[in-house]
Amino acid sequence: MHFKKTKIAAITAAIALTMGTAACSPGSTQASEGGVSGEVKLLTPIFEGTPGQKLLEDELLPEFYKKYPDVKVNVDYTTYGKLNEKLTTSIVSGGVPDVMLMGVGWIENFAAQGVLADLGKTGLTRDKLLDSYTESIVDAGMYKDGVYGVPIMLDTRFGVARMDLLAKAGYTAPPKTWDELVEMSKALTVRDGNGSLQQAGFDMLSLDPRQAFETMLFSAGGSLFNADSTEPEFNSKAGVDALQLMTDLINTHKVEDLGYSSAGAAVNPLLNGRAAMGIAHNNLFTQAQESAPEILDQLQPFAITGSEPGMFFGGTLATVSSKTKNPKAAQALLEFLTSSGPALAANQQRGNVPAETALLDSDYVKSNRFVQFAMENLAIAKREGGPAKWIQIRGDFTPAIEAALLQKESPQKALDDLAAAAKSAIQP
């Protein structure tokens, strides 16, 4: 994402307004006191590109050095696409970075391998973090009874409607149930005289298939795994109903054609009017601000509701290596990056959702309706992950979901086979 000078100025202002609270990070510990020194390596998949690097190196780290002049931070930039490979390579070579930023669903894997330090032992306990974050967000950084990650930002997925297109079809509000979703999606689908799709009634294909399914699964009241993450549950009735709905929307109700859009599409179809509704990432609002500001007022977020309202969240958490030679410096950096000022600046840079509840009142959140919607509805949000083998398991979701959408397998069979593979990975 490329940022205009006005956006960089706004981020800088956000840092200035909140940096006074930076030392008081959620659950800050004795690492925030003086006498901290040493050299630490930071591995980060955020702050990418020239604007991100400028934010981190020219704005944030200088503030960190004011408090910790005897600490040196070496930054290793990567992407989420290369992060797992980089982490795995570092483990094999014995050169694990001191502070690592990683995704929701990744904590369990690296904690189980003994790579991550238990932050609860240094004062960042679950109870302390619950003062600043919702329970589901705190739990995303836990493995068994230990705290291994502190959240910085969230990525959410929920329904979005183009209210101008809904109005043309006679609707005044987004759907409130699955039945309404089907009815409205059919009515909002537009094809030309040759049957070629001109406007999808409900777009699911601009999102990663796994995340689209999870959003629908959560709206059906389902879960990916049982409470202790030892058994898959996504092939339950709720999961089958969710995948069946997705399959029916495409193959029976024909509200979108396979190939009409994709997760790699240059422009989301909600922005150019090629879709009236869809499941979208919260940064769609930021994309609209930059490429289609004239439709901002027409974009309305909504929770997709089956048996209950559903919303998906992923995100980025900060962790510390269990092998770091400078644990106090590493934890000081973690606490700084997860504190209000730096976290707010990082979220604004990417158009993401702050994890810290208090930031709901920030100017950035108030100015971004999608981020505000996400933060106001975090109580209904569910995350992916759970088992230590999640990173291995998740890659099997897309082919299974696509097999159902292509009608090569029934939703039940596709999910049963996926569950069998997941169970084998969890309990080899």
pLDDT tens, residue by residue, 243-252: 999 999 999 9
CA torsion 344-345-349-352 (nearest 10°) is: -10
Write out the DSSP string of 358-375: GGGGSHHHHH-HHHHHHH
Q: Say whether domain 38-155+314-383 belongs to CATH 3.40.190.10.
A: yes
Q: 419 or 4: which carries more pLDDT confidence?
A: 419
For residues 261-276, give the mean pLDDT: 96
Within this chain, domains 38-155+314-383 and 157-312+389-426 share the same CATH topology: yes
Domain range list for the chain:
38-155+314-383, 157-312+389-426
Q: What is the pLDDT of residue 6?
A: 41
Strand partners, 309: 305
Report how far residue 181's alpha carbon sits from residue 48's, in angstroms, rounded to the nearest whole number: 37
CATH no., domain 157-312+389-426: 3.40.190.10
pLDDT digits (tens, 9 = 90+) for 303-356: 999 999 999 999 999 999 999 999 999 999 999 999 999 999 999 999 999 999
Among 205, 239, 194, 197, which residue's Cα sits nearest to residue 220? 239
For residues 160-180, give the mean pLDDT: 98
Q: What is the pLDDT of residue 34?
A: 64
For residues 265-285, give the mean pLDDT: 97
Residue 298 has pLDDT above 90, yes or no: yes
Burial string for 186-201 (b: 16+ CB within 10 Å, else e) reads eebbbeeeeeebebbb
Strand, coil or helix: 388: coil
For residues 78-88, give the mean pLDDT: 90
* C-beta separation of 356 from 132 below 8 A: yes
Write out the DSSP string of 80-132: HHHHHHHHHHHHHHT---SEEEEETTTHHHHHHTT-B--GGGGT--HHHHTTT
Q: In the numeric block, which tokens belong to residue 213?
A: 């399914």
Kindly give the interhelix angle for 5-18 and 340-350, rounded to the nearest 10 degrees: 160
Residue 185 has pLDDT above 90, yes or no: yes
Distance set, CA 259 to CA 197, 200, 265, 276 (Å): 11, 12, 10, 17
Model-level pTM? 0.91
Q: What is the pLDDT of residue 12?
A: 52
Residue 8 has pLDDT above 70, yes or no: no
pLDDT-based confidence at 48, cuts 50/70/90?
confident
Residue 21 has pLDDT above 50, yes or no: no
Average pLDDT of the chain is 92
pLDDT digits (tens, 9 = 90+) for 194-210: 999 999 999 999 999 99
pLDDT digits (tens, 9 = 90+) for 102-133: 999 999 999 999 999 999 999 999 999 999 99
Q: 264 or 13: which carries more pLDDT confidence?
A: 264
Q: What is the pLDDT of residue 27?
A: 55
